[in-house]
Amino acid sequence: MNYIKIRFGGDFNHFEKNIEDIFRGVSPVFALSEHTWKPQMDIYETPGAIIILGEIAGVSKKDLVLEINRKAVKIYGTRTEMPRMNNMTYRLAEIQYGRFERTLFLPAPIDTDKVSASYLNGLLQIKLAKLPRDITCKIEISDG
């Protein structure tokens, strides 16, 4: 059985990528590095969990990585291009290949000890348990 790689912690530096995407939209000349594509994602929320569904057809589980902290999920990997046949002329080429990356900021803090992920028929599903909001801690006050 192959497992999806999940890494915890880390600070996701999303500002650098966002600036790059803005300039790439103006002109390909402004591309600072290799182009990455962004898979389509849905985020659902229940009272106790956050569920992320990602459309990543054609990606092998070994080429898929999740990084998770209490505030965000980063999903990245590579979709390998299909081999081209000789004497082939493209009439339409919309499928994106190569490196992909998506960072999703979560609507509530999550418990990183209660995360599960599954991948079936090109759909990645991540279930994240929310941290309870009603936890209070008593702090002892010491003398000066």
For residue 18, pLDDT over 60 is answered with no
Contact predicate 73/115, CB 8 Å: no
Report how far residue 58's alpha carbon sits from residue 36's, in angstroms, rounded to the nearest whole number: 16
Q: What is the largest CA-CA distance in the chain?
A: 83
Strand arrangement, sheet containing 110-120:
40-45, 49-55, 123-130, 110-120
Provide, for the chain, the percentages of residues in helix, strand and coil under a 3-state DSSP scheme, each rounded to the nearest 5: 15, 40, 45
Per CATH, which fold does 5-10+37-81+90-130 belong to? Answer: Immunoglobulin-like (2.60.40)
Contact predicate 48/114, CB 8 Å: no
Q: What is the pLDDT of residue 34?
A: 61
Q: What is the pLDDT of residue 40?
A: 96
Taking only the tens place, the pLDDT of each residue in 60-111 is 999 999 999 989 999 999 999 888 888 888 888 889 999 999 999 999 999 9
State the average pLDDT over residues 114-140: 89
Contact predicate 130/111, CB 8 Å: yes
Q: What is the pLDDT of residue 6?
A: 72
Please state the domain extents for the chain. Answer: 5-10+37-81+90-130
Q: What is the pLDDT of residue 22?
A: 52
Cut 0.75: pTM above it? no
